[in-house]
Amino acid sequence: MITEEKITEPLNFQFEIQPVRSNRIEHMLDYVNSIQAGVCIDRARYFTESYRITENLPQIVRRAKALEHTLQNMSLYLLPGSLLLGNQASHPNYSPLFPEFTTDFLKEEIFDRTPYYPPERPADRFVIDEAILPELNSILEYWNGRTHKARVYARLPKEAISAQNDIGAINILNYVHGGDGHFAPPYKWHIDHGLGYIIRTAKQKLLEIDLTAPDGCDKKAFYEASIIVCRAVIGWAHRYADFVEAKAAEETDPVRKQELFSMAEISRWVPEHPARNFHEALQAVTYIQLAIQVEDNAQGVCLGRFDQVMAAHCEEELRSGTLTREKALELTQNFFVMLSVIERIRSWADTAFFRGKPIFQNLTIGGVNPETRLDATNEMSYIILDAIQNTRTVQPSHYVRWHKTAPEKFKMKVAETIRLGTGFPAVANDEVYMQAMMNRGYTYKDAADYCIIGCAEPGPPGLRGGRTGAAWYSLAKCLEMALYNGNDPLSGKILHPNSSNKDLSTFESYQEVWNAFSEQARYYLKLEVIMDNAIDKTYEEFIDEPLSGIMACPETTLERGQSLKKGGAKYDFTGNQTIGLANVANSLFAIKKLVFDEKTLTGKQLLHAMKTNFTDLTTDPTGPEIQQICIAVPKYGNDTDDVDLIARDALILVCEEFPKYKNTRYGKGPIGGVFQASTTTVSSNTPFGQSVGALPDGRNANAPLSDGQSPFRGTDTLGPTAALNSVSKLNLVLLSEGSLYNMKLFPADLKD
C-alpha cells in the first residue's frame, strides 16, 4: 500500500509544474480568466436588422448580407497586450445569440427563467445585462415561426420526435440549436492566396455562368454571396486597423504605440492579400476563424495540420533571423488565447451533452508528408507543444498524429505534454485512421493529409464537407428496448415491438436476444438518419452558410459554384456518435453467460431485478445479490475474448448499417454522400444514461453510460495494456468517422 508520505507528485500535477510565459501572455490570460461568461446581443441585433429587409433575396445572399451588416457594426475590443486582433462578441468569453436557429430555450430560460435563468444555473452560467431584455424580446418575436428548429421539427415524423423526447434513444438538439461547423479550412491555401483571390475568382465565375442551366441561378447566388462575405471580412479587418490606430494615438508607451501601428498595417494587408510573414499568417487565420464563428455558432471549425500550415513562414524567418523562436512561441500562445475566448450558450438540456463548453477548434500536428510519405514533424510542431504547456487553455483543442517513424524526440515531447494532465494533446493513430479513410474512398494522398475535425473525426483540410458530427445515438438504449420487447420502461412508449414479440423473460436463446438487439439498433438508427437528413435539408434551404462554404473548401466550391450543403466538397459524409458500447457488450455477455450458458439466473429473474433497480429484497436471490452476480461477470476492457468480441460485433453492426443510408448531398458531386459511424461521445453518455434503466451488466438505473469505445468505469481491472488489447479487437478500420478511447491515469499509478 502506498502511504500519503510516499506520494511526492500531487494529483494536480499541471499546477505544480509552472508554465513559462512572457509578461504579455501572463497578463492576457489573467485578464481573460477574470471575465465570467456572458451573453452578447450584437450579433442577434444586426443579423435580425438585415433579415428584416432582405426577405426577397436568395437565402445564401441573405445570410451573406446579414454577416456583412454584423461585421460592419458589431463591437470591437483589444485584449491587453495582444499582438492579434479579432473578436466574436462584445467581450471575451461572451456568447453571441443566434435566434435564427431557435428561440424556444432563450424564451424559456431568459424570460420565463425555466428551468434556470442562465446567470443562476448550477453550472455553465452566463451573465446577462438585463437592459438588453426588451430588445432581445423584440428580436425573438421576429424569429417566431421562422427558426431552423421549427422547420426541422415540421419535417420530422412523430416517431422520430418521440424517440428523442420520450424514449431518449437519439438526440438532435445540438443541430437544431446551432450551426453545423465540423470542417477544417485549408488555412495554408488562404494564407497563400488571400480573400482578394476568392473575390476575383468569383467575379470571373459570375461572367461564365450559364443562367439557362437548371443550377444557373443557384451558382449566381453562391458567387455573389461569396464576394459579399469576403469583402465583409476584409472590411472588418480594416475597421480593426482604424480601431487600433485610434488607440495608438492615445498610447504613451512608445513600444506599445509601435505595436499598435504595426497591427493596423497588418490588418490593412491580411486577410485580403497573401501573408508575407509569420505574424501576418497568424492574423489572417485569426480573422477568418473568428468571422466563421460570428456567422455560425458551430463546433468543430478546426485549424487543420497547423504545424504544416505555419511551417514555411516560421522556418524561413527563423533561418533569416527576422523572427526569433521566442517571438514565434509568444505569437502562437497569443493565438491560443484569442481562440480560447470563443463561447456558445446552449440550452440547459443541451449543456449536459457538452460539459466543459467544448467548441472543438481542433489543431493537429505531426503525421506524414502526403507526397514523400515521410515524417512531417517540424520546428512548428515543437513550438505548438510548448504553447500547449505554457497556456493550458481549453481551446483550441489539440491532436497529434502518431506513426511509427515519428522522431523519438517528438514522441517524448508529446508524452511530456500529456503528462501535465490537461488532456492535450490527444493522439490519433495514423495507421488505423488512414486505412479507415481509404476504405471509404479517400485517395492515399488525401488520407495522408488528414487532420482531426470536431472531436475525433478525420478529414483532409479543404476537401471534407458534410457533417462529421451528427445526431447522438444510444446503443445502450437500443439494447434496453430489445430486452423489454420495444416497451420503454421509463415512458411506457412503444414505437417498435420485437418481431419475436419476446422480452428477456421469454427469450429462448442468446441468438434471440442478439436478433432483438440488432432489430432495435437498426430501427433507431433509421430514425436518426431521418432526423439528420431533415436537419441538412433545412440547413440547405434556409441557413446555407456562404463564409463557411467558401472558407472550408475554396478550391472545390469555387470551381463547382456549390456551397457545402449543395455538394461543393470533394468528400462528404454524415457522421454519428454511438453511446454505451461497453454497457452493451457487458450486458449481452452477462445474459449469455448467466441465463443461457450457466443458467445461474432465469431471464425472468434478471428482468425483474432490472425493473426494480436491483433493490427488491424479497426475491431469491435478492436484487442486490443479482447485481453482484452481474458485476462479477467478466467485462470488456480486460482482454477477454468472450466479451470483447461481442463489443466488436455490436460495433460492426452499427458501422455496416450506417453506410446503407444516403445523405442529402449524395449524387451531387462529392465522393461518399453516405452515413458513417464513430464512437465519439463528449459528455453525452451522462444525459443518455438518465434515460436508461438498470442493465444486466450491474449498472444502476439512470447512471452514466460508458463513453466512446472505453471500458465502463471501474470495470477494466487488469491495467492499461489489457484495456488497450480489448479496444484493439474492435475492427477499428470500420470507424471512418472517428475512434475515441479515453484513458486516464493518476500520476501515482506511473511510479516505480
The position carrying cell 443562476 is 120
| DSSP 8-state secondary structure symbol assigned to residue 495 | S
Q: Could you tell me if residue 557 is inside a domain?
A: no
Domain span at residue 665? 472-545+562-745
425-460 residue pLDDT tens: 999 999 999 999 999 999 999 999 999 998 899 999
Counted domains in the chain: 1
Distance CA 450, CA 429 (A): 11
Displacement of CA 392 from its chain's centroid (Å): 19
DSSP 631-698: HHS--TTSS-HHHHHHHHHHHHHHHHHGGGSB-TTTTSSSEEEEE------TTTHHHHHTT----TTS
Q: Specify the pLDDT at position 12.
A: 54
Which of 233, 200, 231, 204 is closest to 219 using CA atoms? 204
DSSP 98: -
Q: How far is CA 52 from the centre of its chain?
A: 32
* 78-85 mean pLDDT: 98
Mean pLDDT of 490-495: 97
User: Would 453 be classed as within a structural domain?
Assistant: no
301-319 pLDDT tens trace? 999 999 999 999 999 999 9
Predicted local distance difference test score (pLDDT) of residue 466: 81
- At CA 432, angle to CA 429 and CA 435, rounded to 5? 135
Q: Supply the pLDDT for residue 7.
A: 36
In a domain, 38, yes or no: no
How far apart (Å, rounded) are the C-alpha atoms in residues 567 and 572? Answer: 8
Decide: 51 and 233 in contact? Cβ < 8 Å.
Answer: no
Q: Is the pLDDT of residue 204 over 80?
A: yes
pLDDT of residue 283: 98
In a domain, 310, yes or no: no
- Residue 610 in any domain: the answer is yes
pLDDT-derived band at 467 (thresholds 50, 70, 90) equals confident
Q: Is position 701 within any domain?
A: yes
For the segment 526-571, what is each residue's pLDDT rounded down to a tens digit?
999 999 999 999 999 999 999 999 999 999 999 999 999 999 999 9
Query: What pLDDT, in 10s, does the model give residues 344-388?
Result: 999 999 888 888 777 999 999 999 999 999 999 999 999 999 999
Question: What integer pLDDT is reported at residue 16 of this predicted model?
Answer: 67
Say yes or no to pLDDT of 623 above 70.
yes
Read off the pLDDT of residues 705-746 as tens digits, 9 standing for 90 and up: 999 999 999 999 999 999 999 999 999 999 999 999 998 887
Cα separation of 20 and 2, whole Å?
32
- Tell me, yes or no, whether 712 lies in a domain: yes
User: In the predicted model, is pLDDT for residue 280 greater than 50?
Assistant: yes
How far apart, in whole angstroms, are the C-alpha atoms of residue 121 and residue 234? 38
At residue 301, the 3 state secondary structure works out as strand
Dihedral sign (CA 330, 340, 680, 573): negative
Kindly calculate the radius of gyration of the chain based on its CA atoms and give it in whole angstroms. 26
Which pLDDT value is given to residue 387?
A: 98
Give me the helices (H) in 53-120, please: 59-73, 104-106
**Is 163:520 a contact under the CB 8 Å cutoff?**
no
The packing angle between helices 623-632 and 603-611, to 10°, is: 110
Are 293 and 40 spatial neighbours (Cβ–Cβ below 8 Å)?
Answer: no
Q: What percent of the chain has pLDDT over 70?
A: 97
Domain membership of residue 673 (yes or no) is: yes
At residue 576, the pLDDT reads: 86
User: What torsion do the CA atoms of 439, 466, 230, 294 make, to the nearest 10 degrees?
Assistant: -130
pLDDT greater than 50 at residue 126 = yes
* Sheet arrangement for strand 472-474: 170-171, 472-474, 577-579
**Structure pTM?**
0.96
